[in-house]
Amino acid sequence: MKKIGIGVLGVGDMGKRHAENLRRLVPGAELVAIADVAEARVKKVAEELEVARSFGSLDAMLECKEVRAVVIAAPDKFHAQSVIAAAKAGKDILCEKPLALTMADAYAALEAVSKAGVRLQVGFMRHYDPATAAAMKRIEAGEIGTPLIFKSVGRDKDEPPIAAYQSGVNGMILYNSTIHDFDLARWMMRDEVTEVHTYATVAIRPEVAQYGDVVACTVNLRYGNGGIGNIESYVQAVYAYDVRVEIVGSKGAIFVGSIEKTPAVFLSANGSSQMLEDHFLACFADAYLAEVRDFVQSLVLDKPVRVTGEDGLKALAIAVAAESSMKQGRAAKVTLERSATT
């Protein structure tokens, strides 16, 4: 079987992990090229992974005939334009979340994909997380009845450096992190979010406000079929990388992710009495590998991808409404209108 030639755009932590998986753990793929604007970084990764071709831009990599598909792991700001460029070049695409930072850019990306007739998969890797996938099978089988309440917690361990905010290329927390929960909120509840109400704070790090971001937020959800939900995001929990989801239904509930039950658990920056995850790449290592394997398998078998551009668009619409609610101090309707803004 001829392998699928793949190029990776952006080889920071996330892109490098995708490149490593493609190079070593995805039998149907051949990592033929990588690209990054950081010259020293791209050369270092190319040497480590023994990749013959490295480029300083996506456009240069797209000219490589051996590249049939592209994995986009550049900063959030560049996702939509990278999808458009790759689609115009006739390449199938796996794009990290978010699909875009505005609805207009998301629609432009989807239109380019449709016009080119290529595949687009969005990097919501938690669809491939074994525990989440197992929970979803039970929900789909009706084991908890009708889903009624969605709750999720997403807490990163380490405080982001101020440079991450200053760069202006990373989406704010709602787009960069919480969007995973927005995706799960609609997928696992099997319903669409129609309204959100966001509360946010920079109380422990007020300097973040000048860059249009927040340290923590909660987003209340209302669903089309009457369900409700709540999502919490926090970027500097210090004690662990803590990610959990609960879905409560008419016949039962499912909890995904937990801290081992003990009479008392103390959590601090110095650790705890339990073994805790400290980084998303460790927590979801299996999910990231399964995600890229499924993407390659879709190309090999010429079948549709599982997590689509439409999924990326609908999660983005929730994020846009959540930011609008945060800025206006009141609930906001979720809309798929192209002109929706904050």
Is the same domain home to 303 and 263? no
- List phi, psi (to 5°) of 340: -60, 130
Is the same domain home to 71 and 42? yes
Is the same domain home to 271 and 297? no
Is the same domain home to 38 and 166? no
Q: Please give the pLDDT value at position 283.
A: 79
192 by Cβ neighbours in 10 Å (0-12 / 13-18 / 19+) ranks as middle
Q: Please give the pLDDT value at position 227.
A: 98
Q: Which domain holds residue 100?
A: 4-125+286-307
Q: Please give the pLDDT value at position 311.
A: 96
237 belongs to a structural domain: yes
Please give the Cα distance from 224 to 242 (Å, whole number): 29
339 belongs to a structural domain: no
Q: Please give the pLDDT value at position 268.
A: 41
Three state DSSP letters for the chain: CCCEEEEEECCCHHHHHHHHHHHHCCCCEEEEEEECCCHHHHHHHHHHHCCCEEECCHHHHHCCCCCCEEEECCCHHHHHHHHHHHHHCCCEEEEECCCCCCHHHHHHHHHHHHHHCCCEEEECHHHCCHHHHHHHHHHHCCCCCCEEEEEEEEECCCCCCHHHHHCCCCCCHHHHCCHHHHHHHHHCCCCCEEEEEEEEECCCCHHHHHHCCCCEEEEEEEECCCCEEEEEEECCCCCCCEEEEEEEECCCEEEECCCCCCCCCCEECCEECCCCCCCHHHHCHHHHHHHHHHHHHHHHHCCCCCCEHHHHHHHHHHHHHHHHHHHHCCCEECCCCCCCCC
Structure tokens at 276: 């805790």
340 belongs to a structural domain: no
Mean pLDDT per 10-residue section of the chain, whose length is 342 residues: 92 96 96 97 97 97 97 98 98 98 98 98 96 92 95 94 93 97 98 98 97 97 98 94 92 81 44 58 87 95 96 97 96 93 75
Is the same domain home to 323 and 180? yes
Is the same domain home to 152 and 215? yes
Is the same domain home to 152 and 74? no
Q: What is the CATH number of the domain that holds 102?
A: 3.40.50.720
Q: Write the pLDDT tens digit of every residue in 153-179.
A: 999 999 999 999 999 999 999 999 999
Is the same domain home to 192 and 46? no
50 belongs to a structural domain: yes
Please give the Cα distance from 202 to 180 (Å, whole number): 21
Is the same domain home to 201 and 68? no
Is the same domain home to 121 and 135? no
Q: What is the CATH number of the domain that holds 265?
A: 3.30.360.10
Q: Please give the pLDDT value at position 292.
A: 96
21 belongs to a structural domain: yes
141 by Cβ neighbours in 10 Å (0-12 / 13-18 / 19+) ranks as exposed
Is the same domain home to 182 and 323? yes
209 belongs to a structural domain: yes
The pTM (predicted TM-score) of the whole model is: 0.91
The tally of domains found in the chain comes to 2
Is the same domain home to 131 and 259? yes
Q: Please give the pLDDT value at position 279.
A: 73
Q: Please give the pLDDT value at position 261.
A: 41
Q: Please give the pLDDT value at position 275.
A: 54
341 belongs to a structural domain: no
322 belongs to a structural domain: yes
